[in-house]
């Protein structure tokens, strides 16, 4: 064992620009091209199916399902071998995988409905026990002297390099079938995802739709096993859909985006894996979709972290401004305006923060700062008066109508006075005036 050097140490030469272009434009030889096309289609299908899996909260069920395929692969291999078939034939292994995956999901369903165990435990039990059984069977197969077992390991971590042309084509065809099936049933799937109760009443058998979603998950999982491996194939279902969820509230957009993100990660992953040495396609695909997820999580408008933070900061600043103007309004009759320190103390915030707020308001012409003292300008006073009035109105409303003990009022007032609409205020005034009479 040689002393390991730095991770960034790339031993093989970087691919030339020409090579990169050829691979990316699908001219890098028939085998490479078919693998790239296959994984792209797989990503596409996984994106579509994953969107429904996400909405039906089946993400971790899919994880258990993919782990549960291992014993099926092994048993299919053993049976095929014992009856003298080509034991490495993909259709045989994939059927085995699908059957045991479905049995695994059936076990989850049984555990949830027939015992007091919750979903998390049921999923975990099936995942670990089936995978354990697979590992046991794998160790039995590996003792086989014929050596034909070599390669079953690849289903765990995935190995694109071991894929034949026929494997890629099988994968692509299954992916296309899954995509078409999902798109054809878009209406029913949507209904079941958003309101299964209503779907049931409308006459759509929810369990049939759920079984179809499950079947689609099985198709995608099984066809992705060889390229991505059974541990990571679930990521192709979960990540694109979760990333797409940040960008939209509409289902068809979610499906399209998730499909695009899935296809992009499949394409990028397989291309990088083909171009660079020792970049297993499965991990690169998952990492690229992870990168897209990260981008979406931060940058998406409205639901993204950045947008949310900015929006919340805006609201917080507005609230703080209102508080400041309100207290300046209270001090309007004082002989000398209050010091910034005293204002900060009264509001329980750091003086520096209050000074910044005051400076910002003074730039808008609402506050005057003289030395260490602050006072409101005419327009600032008007604004402060309005806030104070809202405050009082809401306080009165809560006491009169909402049966809230007076000692509890102030706290909630500070939260809501900034969101009161002008209409509501007018209504409150009328109601309180009527009440006073």
**Least distance in Å: CB of 426 to other proteins?**
35
Asked whether 178 and 49 are in contact (CB, 8 A), the reply is yes
Binder of other proteins out of 221, 258, 283, 396 (CB under 8 A) = 283
**In angstroms, what CA-CA distances link 249 with 246, 254, 337, 377?**
8, 7, 50, 44
134 binds other proteins (CB under 8 A): yes
Interface with other proteins, residue 72, by CB under 8 A = no
The answer to whether 135 and 70 are in contact (CB under 8 A) is yes
Backbone angles phi, psi at 373, to 5 degrees: -110, 150
> Are the CB atoms for 243 and 57 separated by under 8 Å?
no
Which of 46, 63, 69, 338 binds other proteins (CB under 8 A)? It is: 63
DSSP states of 8-55 as a string? T---SPPPPHHHHHHHHTT-S-HHHHHHHHHHHHHHHHHHHHHHHHHH
CB 23, CB 281: distance < 8 Å: no
Q: With binding defined as CB under 8 A, does residue 75 bind other proteins?
A: no
Q: Is the CB of 132 or the CB of 205 nearer to other proteins?
A: 132
Does position 282 bind other proteins by CB under 8 A?
Answer: yes
Q: List binders of other proteins among 262-281 (CB under 8 A).
A: 277-280
Determine which residue in the list 60, 354, 357, 361 makes contact with other proteins, applying CB under 8 A: 60
Would you count residue 241 as binding other proteins (CB under 8 A)? yes
The piece of 1-9, 96-104, 254-262, 351-359 that touches other proteins (CB under 8 A) is 1-9
Please state the φ and ψ torsions of residue 195, each to the nearest 5 degrees: -155, 85
Minimum distance between the CB of residue 274 and other proteins, rounded to whole angstroms?
14
Please, which residue, 234 or 324, has the CB nearer to other proteins? 234
Residue keyed to tokens 């091209």: 33
Of residues 8 through 37, those in contact with other proteins by CB under 8 A are 9, 11
Q: Which is nearer to other proteins, 274 or 344 (CB)?
A: 274
Q: Which is nearer to other proteins, 283 or 327 (CB)?
A: 283
Helix and strand numbers (H, E) in the chain are 19, 2
Helix 281-299, helix 233-245: angle, nearest 10: 10
The binder of other proteins chosen from 44, 48, 68, 138 (CB under 8 A)? 138
- Give which of 304, 305, 288, 295 is closest to 47, Cα–Cα: 288
Provide, rounded to whole angstroms, the least separation between the CB of residue 220 and other proteins. Answer: 14
Q: Report the site for other proteins in 154-193 (rule: CB under 8 A).
A: 156-157
User: 143, 333, 336, 421: which one contacts other proteins (CB under 8 A)?
Assistant: 143
Could you tell me the smallest distance in angstroms from the CB atom of residue 399 to other proteins?
A: 28
* Residue 370 in contact with other proteins, rule: CB under 8 A: no
Instruction: Supply the minimum distance, in Å, between the C-beta of residue 7 and other proteins.
Output: 6
Q: What are phi and psi of 208, to 5 degrees?
A: -65, -45
Q: Looking at 21, 79, 106, 128, which residue binds other proteins (CB under 8 A)?
A: 128
For residues 197 to 236, the per-residue mask of contacts with other proteins, x marking binding by CB under 8 A and - elsewhere, is ----------------------------------xx-xx-
**CB atoms closer than 10 angstroms to residue 51:** 29
If the CB atoms of residues 133 and 215 are measured against other proteins, the closer one turns out to be 133
In 3D space, the residue among 353, 355, 350 whose CA is nearest the CA of residue 374 turns out to be 355
- Cα separation, 395 vs 253, in Å, equals 44
Is residue 129 a contact residue for other proteins (CB under 8 A)?
Answer: yes
Binding mask 285-314 for other proteins (x = CB under 8 A): xxx--x--x---x-----x-x--x------
Count of chain residues binding other proteins (CB under 8 A): 72
- Select from 317, 428, 328, 316 the least CA-distant residue to 375: 328
**Shortest distance, CB of residue 130 to other proteins, whole angstroms?**
8
Ranges of beta strands (E only) in 125-227 are none
**Residues of this chain, 102-121, that bind other proteins according to CB under 8 A:** 111, 114-121
Phi, psi (5° rounding) for residue 370? Answer: -125, 115
How is 88-124 classified by DSSP, letter by letter?
T-HHHHHHHHHHHHHHHHHHHHHHHHHSS--HHHHHH
């Amino acid at each position: 064992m040689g002393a390991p050097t730095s991770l960034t140490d790339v031993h093989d030469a970087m691919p030339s620009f020409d090579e990169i272009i050829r691979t990316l434009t699908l001219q890098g030889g028939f085998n490479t091209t078919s693998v790239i096309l296959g994984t792209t289609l797989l990503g596409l299908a996984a994106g579509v199916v994953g969107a429904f899996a996400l909405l039906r909260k089946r993400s971790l069920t899919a994880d258990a399902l993919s782990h549960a395929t291992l014993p099926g692969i092994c048993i299919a291999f053993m049976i095929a071998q014992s009856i003298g078939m080509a034991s490495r034939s993909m259709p045989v292994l994939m059927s085995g995988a699908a059957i045991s995956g479905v049995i695994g999901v059936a076990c989850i369903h049984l555990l949830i409905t027939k015992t007091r165990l919750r979903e998390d435990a049921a999923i975990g039990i099936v995942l670990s026990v089936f995978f354990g059984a697979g590992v046991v069977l794998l160790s039995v197969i590996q003792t086989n002297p014929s050596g034909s077992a070599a390669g079953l390991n690849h289903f765990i971590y995935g190995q694109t390099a071991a894929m034949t042309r026929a494997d890629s084509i099988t994968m692509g065809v299954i992916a296309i079938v899954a995509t078409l099936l999902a798109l054809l049933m878009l209406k029913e799937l949507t209904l079941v995802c958003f309101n299964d109760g209503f779907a049931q009443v409308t006459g759509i058998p929810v369990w049939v739709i759920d079984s179809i979603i499950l079947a689609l998950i099985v198709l995608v999982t099984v066809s992705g096993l060889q390229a991505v491996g059974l541990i990571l194939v679930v990521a192709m279902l979960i990540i694109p859909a979760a990333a797409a969820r940040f960008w939209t509230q509409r289902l068809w957009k979610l499906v399209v985006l998730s499909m695009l993100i899935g296809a992009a990660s499949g394409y990028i992953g397989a291309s990088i894996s083909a171009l660079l040495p020792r970049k297993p396609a499965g991990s690169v695909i998952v990492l690229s979709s992870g990168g897209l997820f990260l981008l979406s999580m931060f940058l998406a408008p409205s639901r993204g972290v950045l947008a949310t933070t900015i929006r919340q900061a805006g609201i917080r600043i507005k609230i703080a401004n209102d508080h400041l103007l309100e207290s300046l309004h209270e001090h309007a009759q004082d002989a000398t305006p209050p010091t910034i320190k005293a204002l900060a103390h009264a509001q329980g915030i750091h003086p520096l923060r209050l000074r910044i707020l005051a400076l910002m308001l003074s730039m808008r012409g609402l506050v005057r700062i003289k030395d260490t003292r602050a006072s409101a300008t005419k327009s600032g006073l008007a604004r402060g008066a309005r806030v104070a009035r809202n405050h009082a109105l809401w306080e009165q409303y809560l006491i009169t109508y909402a049966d809230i003990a007076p000692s509890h009022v102030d706290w909630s007032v500070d939260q809501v006075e900034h969101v009161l609409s002008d209409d509501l205020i007018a209504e409150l005034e009328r109601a309180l005036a009527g009440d006073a009479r």
